[in-house]
Structures are given as C-alpha cells and as structure tokens.
Structure 1
Amino acid sequence: MLPVMGLLSGDIFLPMDAFTHRPWEALLFSSNKNMYFYPNQSLTKQSVGDLCHHTPFAIKKNEHWITDALGFRNNSFIKKPEVLIIGDSYIVGSSITQDSTITNLLARGLNKKVYNMAPANFVDFIDLLNRGIIEKPKTIIYALNEKGIPSSINILNQTRSVEDVSFFSVFKDKVKRLYSLKYLNARVNGKHGKGVPGTIDSSMFFQYGNEVKYYYEKIMNVANTIQSYKDYCDSLRIKFIFLSLPNKETVYFDKIPLETQPNYLLQLDSILRKRNVKTINTLELFNNYRKSNYKLIYHLDDTHWNARGVALVSKNIVEFMSTYTEQFQ
C-alpha cells in the first residue's frame, strides 16, 4: 500500500498539473457540472499535443492559462462585453498560450471588450443573460467545429453557478480526481495519444485520418439551428456572426491523403449567406493562405490550430467587422 499512499499524497501536495500532459486536464473541474475549468486560476506548463502525448512525436509547447470567475479562459471576467465569442476547444485555445488566444487577439485588434464563453453552447449564453450574470453584448460570434452539431435553442442546459467557488471545493475536486492513480494506470498500460500519421507527411498527425466523417445529411438542421441563433440575436438587437472551424483533416486533406477536399463547410457557408447570416468562411481563408504559404496553421501533434492559424482568423474577423463598421458599432 505504501506506493499507492505515496501517489495519493501527490494528489494532495503536488501542483494540479503534476499528472497531466497539458493545462486542459490540469484545470478540468470534474465535480462541478456548472463550471468547466477551475475559476480564478493562473497556470504555466510545458505541454504536448492531444494526438501524440507520451510518444516520440510529441512536441513541447509553453502554455500559460488564466481562467476567470466563471471558469472560462479569460484574463478577467467581463460582465458587459462588447463582443462575445461562444465556441469549443478551438475558442478556448487548446495548445495556445494566453496572449495568443483568439479572445486576446480580437481584444487588441478591435480595441473592444471581448469575452470568451468556451466550451459552451448558445443556450449557456441565454441562461447567463436571463439570470443577469452577463449583460447583452453588441456582437456575438458563434463558432462551430466542422464535426459539431449545435444544440437546439429550445433546450436549456443546466445553469452555471454564480456563487463564488471556494478554495476548498477546488482542492477537494483536485484530490477526488485521483489523477495519480490514473497516471500510474496509463503508464503501466502504455496509453498514449492516438494520432494517425499522414501518408504524404508522416510528421503530421490527425485525429481521424481517412476515417473522418462529415455529416452532410444533417447540414440543413445545422443551418436551421444557426439561423435560430441569429433570429434570437436579431430580437435583442445583437449583431450575429457565424465562424466556421474546419477539421485539420479538411484543411490538410492532401496530407492524409483524401481524394478531394470535403466541402461541407463551403456548402454550409453558402446556405447561411443566402439566409443573410453574416459568416466568416475560415476554410476559404485557410485554402487561400496555403496557396502561397508553406508555414503550418495547425499543430503537427495536435487537433487544433496553432498561433498562426488563430492570428489569421482574428485578423480576418477584424477586417470583416471594419467592413461593416456601421452595423457592428
């Protein structure tokens, strides 16, 4: 029992990232269904990507994370943001350091108060708005990954807690996660990242490879749901922008290789534009970039875009909003 007791003492006395390969898991609030990450935290860690951790292909990255009072990854809580971004791990900035997140780049580029709700659904925003935790923003950017299916606006999620989370509750969760035992089990069983190497470029890894699925049959339902988000924003006089987030497999389809580039996002963008939904066509942006640039916009060992990819998108959003200056004031 002594080795087990020694490991368990590590959960108590060692830093919260001692048994993790990146800040995401280190800050994960496992026992609080209303809050994704531990609130009011600042963590710096040398991390590796989600596809190749504990393999010879892992690439070390320096990540700094700051979470706010609601457990979202922001420098501080903003009750009345001018621009609100709702999205998933891309918007959180997995494998991206704090200064390079899309939230902070947009805040500097737009010179506005920008707040990130991620991971979150649009209905989480409605809940926080209805309970007065946040106030109505001027603009909402709703981001959706290519493999994502947005939640119906009529299905409200569990409400997010507004009470202050105590140091004790975070400490208790950190101990109850039993990361030390999970780490030992993972090392004994040789668990590692499940990245699939590309055939054309074996140094680039993918989550699905040529097994990736595209939900073309659900594209109209996805478009209808996004349309309902815009209609809701219109009713409150909030400007709405849809931001598409392409799979790594789609952007670098030629590295897997796939026979042709999947055009799911291009079709979705076309449908939404016909419905007068303002969209940022990220796939088109990345395709144009790759025509004249060889530098990567996704990590080699991770599912997500890198700092260069985030910078490209944020610059495009700033230019897009300046084009419609009057509308997005």
Structure 2
Amino acid sequence: MNKFFIRCIVFMLPLVGLLSGDIFMSLDVFTHRPWEALLFKSNKTMYFYPNQNLTKQSVGDLCHHTPFAIKKNENWITDKLGYRNNTFIKQADVLIIGDSFIVGSSITQDSTVTNLLTKKLNRKIYNISPANFVDFIDLLNRGEIEKPKTIIYSLNERGIPSPIKLSEQTRIMEDVSSFSVFKDKVTRLYSLKYLNSRLNGKNGKGVPGTIDSSMFFLNGKEEKYHYDKILNVAQTIKSYKDYCESIDVDFIFLPLPIKETVYFDKIPLKMQPDYLLKLDSVLHKNQIKTLNTLELFKNYRKSNSKLIYHLDDSHWNANGVELIASKLAEYIRKSKY
C-alpha cells in the first residue's frame, strides 16, 4: 500500500509542479502574447484584468510557435474597468468603442490609437475595447462613465455591428477584487493547456501568402465578405448615430480594413475586395460621418513600401495605427467641437 501511495505521489509531482505555475508564476508565463495573459475569463462585465502593467516579448496570432513568428516587445496597461488605457477617464472628450484593432493587439501601449490621438489632439481620449455599442450604453446607465463630446465607433470589416437591444435593467458590475483575479488566474488552467498545446504541436493557423510566404493571413483566399449585409450594417450604424444625437454626442464611424483586403496582391487575389468602398457610399447617403480608411491605405501603398500590418499577425502595426490616428485627428479638428 505504501509503495502505491509513493508511486501516486511521484506520478503527481510533475502535475502539481505545473499547476503551481498558475498560482505562483507571472500572468504571461504560459501565453504567447499579453491578450491571453490578461484575459479575465470568469468575469462577464470585464474583458481584461484591471489595474495591470504587463511587459512581455510576444509573437503574432497567425504563426506562433513556428519559425515565422516575429518577436515584439509589448507593454499593456489596463485601468480599473479592465480596458487598455493608461488611466481611467470618467468623462472623455473622445470615447472610442472598438475591437481588437482599437485594443492594439500586437501593439505596445504608446502606439495604440488611443494614446496617439491623445498626443495629437491634447484632449482626453478613452477607449472601451473590445466592446459593442450596448456596452457603452450600459456603462453610461451604470454611471461608470459620463457622456463624451464625441464617440468613435470602430469595426473591422469582418465584423457585423449588433443592433441596440436594451435590457430592462442595467447589469450589475461583477466582483473585481484581487482575490477574484487570483481565482480566475488559477482556474484558467493555462499550464495544462500550454502543456497540451506543446505536446500536440499546436501553433498559429495562419495562411502564408503565395507571393510572399513570410506574410501570413487569417483566411487568405477563403475570406468571406458581407456584401449581402451592407444595407443592414449601414442601418445599424445609423441607429448608433441616432442614439448619439439623442444625447447630444457627435458620432464618427471608423471602419478598418482587414489584412486580406489591404494586401490582396500578396495572397494573391485578382482584385482588391471593395466591400468597405461600397459600405462607405451607403454610409454617406445616410449622412453618417465616416473615414474611408481603405482608400487611405491604398493611396499609402502606391508610394510607400513600409508595411502597415504585421507579417505574423492579423492586426495592423504601429505604422498603420499612425496613419489612422493622423487622419482621425485631422477629421476631429474640423468637426463641430
């Protein structure tokens, strides 16, 4: 019997040692980028752990754990609501609602669109990303934030905006104590998932381009575009604009092209997808303020060879963010406020 228990203990020791890593090691030890390291899995009202300052050498989402992965230094700072901001701002001049592009996946803190706009405009810029428009309304109703002067709603062209469906009562903010963060960190079981991934040789599932095999895409030629949903997308965006007008807030829509669209010739595709160009036309007919970001990137590529998306990631790089931030700053300066 004693030998049996001894064998069990010997067998369990490596597992216990591995699981102890979830308890005692840093948040990012079993992840390839800060996004997963800070992910608050058990909290439904907060996306990332709050009040964090994490610096990590990361790689992109498309070919991690392969020879094509490119190491980058990323610093992430989250505020008390778990959003990626240097500091919490209750009443911003400009509030940005967006997805992983606005969060700044594979971008260090100083190069996020939020921080670049802050420097260019010298105004209070705050983002609640990743989020949808109803999340903004919910934060407003809870009194967590106050209405800004301008809202920028951003969406990459894969996304479909959600219609405004207000619940009967405001959601209650979940517990965000240090213990709840600790409990989430332990119960994520990242150590076991990491071990399983390494044993099974899992890596990024990006698709290499045919013209340039060092440039990876999320879907490549298999990318689907929502041409049949253009009118519905525009109508939903218009409902966001109408809501903002009802509370006396200026509204700007910022559509962002995906890598497949910008670098269509590297996949290659015969023609550049024009989904965003067609959407832009419909938005203007509905008198919605919007930026033609695809046209901006197209014009840039005509005279510049410097990349605006990461080779090993589906998101834009610091150069791409700079282009958008400069155009946004110019656009906002010309706006009514």
TM-score, shorter chain, exceeding 0.5:
yes
Q: CA RMSD in A?
A: 1.3
Q: Which runs of 4+ in 1 moved over 6 A?
A: none
Matches within 5 A, 1:34-113: 34-113=45-124
Q: Is the 8 A contact 2:142 2:170 kept in 1?
A: no
- 8 Å contact from structure 1 (residues 34, 158) kept in 2: no
- Contact conserved, 2:59 with 2:72, CA < 8 A, in 1? yes
What is the distance in 2 between the residues matched to 1:83 and 1:157?
Answer: 28
Task: Give the aligned partner of residue 314 of structure 1.
Answer: 325
SS at match of 2:127: strand
Alignment match, 1:273: 284
SS of alignment partner, residue 321 of structure 2: helix
1:244 alignment partner AA:
P
Q: Distance in 1 between matches of 2:168 and 2:65?
A: 35
1:322 Cα deviation from its structure 2 partner: 1.8
Do the aligned partners of residues 157 and 72 (structure 1) sit closer, same or farther apart at CA in structure 2, a change above 3 Å counting? farther
Q: CA deviation at 1:132?
A: 1.2
Q: CA deviation digits over 1:171-213, x for unaligned, max 9?
A: 1110000000000000000000011000111110000010000
Question: Match of 2:290, SS?
Answer: strand
- Partners of 1:199 and 1:276 in 2: how far apart? 40
Contact residue 45 and residue 174 of structure 2 kept, 8 A: no
Change (3 A) 1:158 1:191: farther
Distance in 1 of aligned mates of 2:145 and 2:230: 31
Alpha-carbon offset, residue 160 of structure 1: 6.0
Q: Which has the larger radius of gyration?
A: 2
Gaps (5+ residues) in structure 1?
none
SS in 2 for 1:141: strand
Matches of residues 1-329 of structure 1 in structure 2 within 5 Å? 1-156=12-167, 162=173, 165-324=176-335, 327=336, 329=337
Partners in 2 of 1:186 and 1:142 — Cα distance? 36
- Contact 1:69–1:164 (CA under 8 A) maintained in structure 2: no
Please say which of residues 102-111 and 150-159 is displaced more in the overlay.
150-159
Q: Distance in 2 between matches of 1:41 and 1:92?
A: 14
2:43·2:174 contact (CA, 8 Å) conserved in 1?
no
With normalisation by structure 1, the TM-score equals 0.97
Q: Paired residues, what number?
A: 326
**Structure 1 123/228 Cα, relative in aligned 2: closer, same or farther at 3 Å?**
same
Cα pair 1:196 1:206 within 8 Å, conserved: yes
State the alpha-carbon separation in 1 of the partners of residues 136 and 173 from structure 2.
14
Amino acid across the alignment from 2:61: D
The CA distance in 2 between the partners of 1:203 and 1:169, in whole Å, is 41
Structure-2-length-normalised TM-score: 0.95
> CA-to-partner distance for each residue in 1:31-75, whole Å, 9 max, x for gaps?
111110000000000000000100000000000000001100001
Give 1:144's aligned amino acid: L
After TM superposition, give the deviation of residue 274 of structure 1 in Å.
Answer: 1.2
Summarize the Cα distance change of 1:157–1:115 in structure 2 as closer, same or farther, 3 Å threshold: farther
Question: 2:7 — aligned with what?
Answer: none
**What secondary structure, in the 3-state scheme, does the structure 2 residue paired with 1:79 have?**
coil
SS in 2 for 1:278: coil
> In the TM superposition, what is the alpha-carbon distance from 1:164 to its structure 2 partner?
6.3
> Shift in Å at residue 281 of structure 1?
1.0
Question: Which whole-Å CA distance do the structure 2 matches of 1:160 and 1:191 have between them?
Answer: 37
CA distance in 1, matches of 2:77, 2:142: 25
The one-letter code of the counterpart of 1:7 is: L
Report the Cα offset of residue 155 of structure 1. Answer: 4.7
Residue pair 1:50, 1:193 contacting (<8 A) in 2 also: yes
* Structure 2 unpaired stretches of 5+: 1-11
Aligned-residue identity in percent: 74
